[in-house]
A and B are shown apart, each in its own frame.
Chain A
């Protein structure tokens, strides 16, 4: 019943993008998002699209997979488009519907904001599709570790995220089993009114929580038995090291930002 949920969207492949340092990928995503918002006019999006197309090509992802990531966003996109279309104001009238006026500024704004959203999602999807969740938390930990100076628990945060990610499939499997066991006792999870269905969740949730707490206790014990005492003085198995490709990626993204700014000065549309 719950088996066919895929967690995260990591797409395994051998590519330069997959192999990039996760820290670099996170920072580059932030830079990319900044670039997307810096684009002042429509022609600038051509640059963004080219950059993304190149990254996609290098990552060996099926383009379809990337496009699919926009799908859950379609309603927000339509909503944004319509909202900007009619509520931007502006002076150049294109179409007067009586109850609303369509202006050139409105149309441009609508396209611009929708494109920004699309590229925002595509960029983040590219990150999650090419990076394993655990690698991602690892990169995040390293990026946040300077904040330890102000007592931000970067290691603990990352450890919690890693553990949570690790246990999601386990708990899903457990939920599936308990659901089946209760179904075998005549429990019905699939039909009935809302209230009945909520009530039917109790026999699932109680055992699931009991088991989650038990697992958490066992895990804590097992970690302590192996002398885990937090992040202090801990060395790592995989030390993140910047490679040539990482610097190239940073360079390419810097070029993108410069081009976007320059382009904005030259063209006005």
Chain B
């Protein structure tokens, strides 16, 4: 599966005095099993970009192609696009509405017109995949804890079995434990073969998960590449009001002091390098 952006521009309220261009001339290719992080400062156009991925917004100019087909063309089923590309909004728990968790998770599959047996099977599977115990299925979603509600909402999208999952700040507002669990969950979706696009503010989360990083700045793609490349550009990231991960900062600082330290961004790599350094490294003169 391949999702391709061709010079996509989106202007809100075009032609009115309030018009503003949220994304400008974005060209990207996503999918094929990658775990991609989309980062950028508030208002850089991340969420607008995400909403173009499953045709919730149509570009003002440019095209979005799913396996070569323009998803905003007449005659292309929006439902099918939205089944193939699942979008989990920020604070997804606000979309829960049914009497029971199971019914809420079933909402998506039901809209796809699946048989009741298939729906039941998918609900069960989805709840299992997000790590919610089975007895929760018959509870009201409003009785759950915040973290559980978020999981239930994500299950509602997973139950549609998307080939690509776009998550807008999935860990926002969760406590440190919930955050860890959420990141583990995203990783597990990826390991199960789903392409992931994760929008995030947290560089540390991104550093731990992402293979590829797309940096948005003022509606445009500023950087796009493998994590290790993007994080080397600390200066440029700083200019866009973005930070590098804590591990990166440590590495950069050590290098500044003259230590022979690799430019790494993952905790594990840093740990290895640090151990080596402590065992016998000396600063270069």
A positions within 8 Å CB-CB of B: 3-4, 174, 177-178, 180-188, 202-203, 206-207, 210-211
Tell me, yes or no, whether B221 is within 8 Å of chain A by CB: no
Q: A4-B13, A180-B51 are in contact. Are A185 and B94 (CB under 8 A)?
A: no
Tell me, yes or no, whether B5 is within 8 Å of chain A by CB: no
Q: How far is the CB of A207 from chain B (nearest CB, A)?
A: 5
Q: How far is the CB of B265 from chain A (nearest CB, A)?
A: 31
Q: How far is the CB of B47 from chain A (nearest CB, A)?
A: 10
Complex alpha-carbon distance, A206 and B141, angstroms: 12
Highest count of chain A CB atoms <10 Å: which of B86, B92, B94, B157: B94
Tell me, yes or no, whether B261 is within 8 Å of chain A by CB: no
Contact partner, B108, options A4, A178, A186, A211, Cβ 8 Å: A186
Chain A residue, CB-CB nearest to B53: A184
Complex alpha-carbon distance, A200 and B94, angstroms: 17
Tell me, yes or no, whether B112 is within 8 Å of chain A by CB: yes
B111 contact set on A, CB distance < 8 A: 185-188
Highest count of chain B CB atoms <10 Å: which of A180, A185, A203, A211: A185
Q: A184-B89, A186-B79 are in contact. Are A207 and B94 (CB under 8 A)?
A: yes
A178 contact set on B, CB distance < 8 A: 94-95
What are 29 A-B pairs with beta-carbon distances under 8 A?
A3-B12, A180-B51, A181-B92, A181-B95, A182-B95, A183-B56, A183-B78, A184-B56, A184-B82, A184-B89, A185-B82, A185-B95, A185-B108, A185-B156, A185-B157, A185-B160, A186-B79, A186-B83, A186-B108, A186-B111, A187-B107, A188-B79, A202-B97, A203-B107, A206-B97, A207-B95, A207-B97, A210-B97, A210-B142
Complex alpha-carbon distance, A3 and B18, angstroms: 11
Q: A3-B12, A210-B142 are in contact. Are A184 and B97 (CB under 8 A)?
A: no
The 9 lowest CB-CB distance pairs between A and B, nearest first, are A186-B111, A206-B97, A185-B108, A181-B95, A184-B87, A181-B89, A203-B97, A180-B56, A207-B97
Q: How far is the CB of B196 from chain A (nearest CB, A)?
A: 16
Tell me, yes or no, whether B71 is within 8 Å of chain A by CB: no
B108 contact set on A, CB distance < 8 A: 185-186
B86 contact set on A, CB distance < 8 A: 184
Please state if A3 and B13 are interface contacts (CB–CB under 8 Å).
Answer: yes
Q: How far is the CB of A68 from chain B (nearest CB, A)?
A: 15
Contact partner, B107, options A174, A177, A185, A210, Cβ 8 Å: A185
Complex alpha-carbon distance, A137 and B79, angstroms: 45
B107 contact set on A, CB distance < 8 A: 182, 185, 187, 203
Q: How far is the CB of A198 from chain B (nearest CB, A)?
A: 15
